[in-house]
Structure 1
Amino acid sequence: MLRLRSCGVAHLLSSPITSHGYALPRLLSATTAVSPPTGFAVEEYLVDTCGLTRAQALKASAKLSHLKSPANADAVLAFLAGLGLSSADVAALVARDPKFLCAGVEATLSPIVVELTGLGLSRSEIARLVPLAAEHFRCKSVVSKVHYYLHLLGPSEKFLRVFKGNHHLLSHSLEKVVKRNVRLLRECTLGACDIGKLAISLPRMLTANVEQIRAMVASAEALGVPPGCAMFRQALRSVALVSEEKIATKLDHLKKATRWSDTDAGIAVSRWLSVLSLSKETLQRKSDFFIAEVGLEPAYIARRPAMLSFSLEGRLRPRYYVMRFLKENGLLDHDRDYYGMVLCSEKVFAEKFICPHKEAAPHLPEDYAAARRGEMPTNFRFI
């Protein structure tokens, strides 16, 4: 082709028409238009070989204009295929980080895979990591960062779950951001296991601004859940997901529905944080039952907030009926605590409070079952 083009140029230059001065520039312009292109068609390569859309390829090609050959890009694609990445994963990776195609396979990518394998990651896990890490995977510092997170979070599966929820884990400085946040959480008496669980439910916690974490700690303390409390980790999670205004509103509803004082509410929240997730209507119905029917004091309920987690129709009311029936018929000690009867499993409840009274109260199993269905058996009628 080049030879033909050269002959064409020679023929045009030797033509008689070139004796006219005006003709030569036009002929030279014509020959320039058919000169061989340099490099290769990057945009077409991104579409045809990498699977990018035309719009993605147009945008990505600007970062690859220096490429003169597809050789390195072909090697990278072969490397990714060898790891097991799907064509969709490859397309997403290249669209996000076009310069990944410029990474050295032998000098950079392959050694990183070897070192990650040495940390315990399988090739399939590394294949999951690559599209998430993108440009950070072609930096050798990725190995030391993954090593730290594996030590902090535990098995590689946990690390990948956290990383999927927070792609900034590999872009933030370990020393200036992540380790600083971990130190602050440790100062709040959270152990490695708690920090790992917190990171899974709140991946951004590890890379958050330190002032944000301090604000979360302060909000948890305002709920009556200080550092060192068994519910502190759950409190941090709750205040991170809900605004201070919403928490204040929930506390207000909680106190009104249960007739709790500020102290009672603080005790209840510190012992069972999920009490804040109950609706105002649910709190009102259960509180009315405990106080008006069972005769419990609000402070008693506040110190045993887990009572509020059980179904009113399926457990709380039927078991109260059994307790009253047994006490009024002299089959149960009057000092028997209702809370203990609520907590035990159905199997244990039947073994302790139903089966032993089959002779004295033969209809008790049927009556209890009917009560759990929302019915009021005749034998449970109280005078």
Structure 2
Amino acid sequence: MTAEPRLLARSLESCIIPFYDSLKRFLISDKSITDTIKSYAHIVCDVHRTSHNVQVLLDNGMPDLKVGLLLRRWPRAMSKQSGEFKKAVAYLKELGFNPSKSIFLIALVAKSSGKTTWQKKIDLFKKWGWSEEAIVSAFRRYPWCMLVSENKLMVVKDYFVTRLGWDPLVLARYPIVFSFSLEKTIIPRHSVLEVLQSRGLIKDAHLVSPFTIGEKAFLKKYVDCFKEEAPQLLKLYIGKRSLSQ
């Protein structure tokens, strides 16, 4: 109650209990419902707004399970002003996002992060030379990129562009790289690529695919298959990763 004292002004019979019961359709268990309310009690204070936003999602084809996931993991997004929320859903559908797919949830959370937060990242991308079309394309490919902090975006961009000399537009085509840890993934993998290139085992250390594949795939393709030519690669890779711990 101390986190959201306005709950005390809500009627138990006419507000809280009916809303609690309505959540059962999406959250199923009492524990999921109480956990959601505990994590973001504000959702109960704006019952009508939340209920309206839930209905918008249902009207646009979002399954109950996906609505439940949104309520459970990102309840803050559900308490946005109804008009803005409806516009966000319409905007995402125009971009081709399907409300029945999980990626729609990520895109919606990103778009609901607030006008200021959203615009700051748009402005940041434009400073890098990204066009409106490139920004929209990056968002379509990997909406998580709009949930990454501005600081993380800058750190990753500076490494690839300033240190490695990449064209910033490459990052627009592969925005997934912004989700990777610089210390645990990007630097260790590039260290391996540099050794391979220096020995003529690969032609270009500025490849994108080594950064976007899974851990097992990377080790198999760029470490294990070069054991004879460069036996120190695994030790180098592990050593670079251990520096981040």
Q: TM-score, normalised by structure 1?
A: 0.49
Map 1:340-355 → 2, pairs under 5 A: 340-355=209-224
- Inter-CA distance 254–279: structure 2 relative to 1 (3 Å threshold): farther
Residue deviations 1:8-28 (CA, integer Å, cap 9, x gap): xxxxxxxxxxxxxxxxxxxxx
| Structure 2 CA distance for aligned equivalents of residues 233 and 204 of structure 1 | 10
| Structure 2 CA distance for aligned equivalents of residues 311 and 274 of structure 1 | 14
Residue of structure 1 equivalent to 2:231: 362
Counterpart of 1:157, as a letter, is K
Residue of structure 1 equivalent to 2:66: 194
**Which residue of 78, 85, 109 corresponds with 1:205?**
78
| Structure 2 CA distance for aligned equivalents of residues 204 and 364 of structure 1 | 45
Residue deviations 1:98-135 (CA, integer Å, cap 9, x gap): xxxxxxxxxxxxxxxxxxxxxxxxxxxxxxxxx98985
- Deviation for aligned residue 1:367: 3.2
Counterpart of 1:250, as a letter, is K
The answer to whether the 8 Å contact 2:171/2:177 transfers is: yes
**Which residue of 161, 167, 170 corresponds with 2:35?**
161
- Deviation for aligned residue 1:328: 4.2
- Deviation for aligned residue 1:329: 2.5
Map 1:1-383 → 2, pairs under 5 A: 135-137=11-13, 142=17, 146-164=20-38, 165=41, 166-168=43-45, 180-200=52-72, 201-202=74-75, 205=78, 210-217=82-89, 221=92, 227-228=97-98, 231-242=103-114, 244-257=115-128, 259-291=129-161, 294=164, 296-332=166-202, 334=203, 338-372=207-241
Query: Structure 1, unaligned stretches of length 5 or more?
Result: 1-88, 97-130, 375-383
The answer to whether the 8 Å contact 1:189/1:227 transfers is: no
- Deviation for aligned residue 1:305: 0.7
The answer to whether the 8 Å contact 1:153/1:159 transfers is: yes
| Structure 2 CA distance for aligned equivalents of residues 370 and 145 of structure 1 | 53
Query: What percentage of residue pairs aligned between the two structures are identical?
Result: 24
| Structure 1 CA distance for aligned equivalents of residues 187 and 117 of structure 2 | 31
| Structure 1 CA distance for aligned equivalents of residues 120 and 10 of structure 2 | 43
- Deviation for aligned residue 1:315: 2.3
- Inter-CA distance 369–145: structure 2 relative to 1 (3 Å threshold): closer
- Deviation for aligned residue 1:363: 2.6
Residue deviations 1:57-88 (CA, integer Å, cap 9, x gap): xxxxxxxxxxxxxxxxxxxxxxxxxxxxxxxx
- Deviation for aligned residue 1:146: 4.7
| Structure 2 CA distance for aligned equivalents of residues 209 and 366 of structure 1 | 53
SS at match of 2:229: coil
| Structure 2 CA distance for aligned equivalents of residues 189 and 179 of structure 1 | 16
The answer to whether the 8 Å contact 1:254/1:283 transfers is: no
| Structure 1 CA distance for aligned equivalents of residues 151 and 9 of structure 2 | 46
- Inter-CA distance 352–132: structure 2 relative to 1 (3 Å threshold): farther
RMSD over aligned CA atoms reads 4.1
Q: TM-score, normalised by structure 2?
A: 0.70
Indicate the structure whose relative CO is greater, using CA pairs within 8 Å and at least 6 residues apart: 2
Residue deviations 1:213-264 (CA, integer Å, cap 9, x gap): 224436x549x8565275432233334342x13321221013314x321111
The answer to whether the 8 Å contact 1:133/1:167 transfers is: no
- Inter-CA distance 132–270: structure 2 relative to 1 (3 Å threshold): farther
| Structure 2 CA distance for aligned equivalents of residues 293 and 269 of structure 1 | 25
Query: Structure 2, unaligned stretches of length 5 or more?
Result: none
The answer to whether the 8 Å contact 1:320/1:338 transfers is: no
- Inter-CA distance 152–345: structure 2 relative to 1 (3 Å threshold): closer
Structure of higher CA gyration radius: 1
Counterpart of 1:249, as a letter, is K
- Inter-CA distance 347–221: structure 2 relative to 1 (3 Å threshold): closer
